A = this chain, B = another copy of it.
Amino acid sequence: MILNVDLSGEVPIYQQLRDQIVEAIAEGVLIEGSLLPATRTLAADFGINFHTVNKAYDLLRRQGLIRLNRKTGAVVTTTVAAPPFPSEWTARARTLLAEAVARGLPADEVLTTCRSLLDSFVTPREDTP
């Protein structure tokens, strides 16, 4: 997995890490059982503090996307979204889609973009018999 951190960007570093790991999971680059680098290792790779990586991992853990074990490190776990998540997610999607429409992007183009993005995620977890 390739992570890219923009240290001088507007988005907090821990959020960038979280987002990219979430995307890697969606893409199938990270699957159930995949091991993430140790916090100190990842921090050293980017020249950042390991507390910052810790914060990203803690976010992912609270969202049920990884499990943290001593010595084993962070392991990706695929769980099904808990009840409050879908409606919260929809609210956020509403805001993001509204922004696109308000700024003049045609609704059908927006939907096409969403479809493309989703298609790029859908990873064949099932074997072809």
User: What is the interface of chain A, defined by CB distance below 8 A to chain B?
Assistant: 19, 22-23, 25-27, 63-65, 78-81, 85-86, 89-90, 92-105, 107, 110-111, 113-115, 117-119, 121-122
Contacts and interface: CB of A to CB of B under 8 A. Distances in A.
Contact of A98 (B25, B78, B90, B95): B25
Given A93-B114, A101-B118, A101-B121, 17 more contacts: A19-B98, A22-B99, A23-B102, A26-B98, A64-B103, A78-B104, A80-B103, A86-B105, A89-B103, A89-B105, A90-B113, A92-B96, A96-B96, A97-B117, A98-B121, A111-B111, A111-B115
Contacts of A110: 114, 118
A73 to B, nearest CB: 19
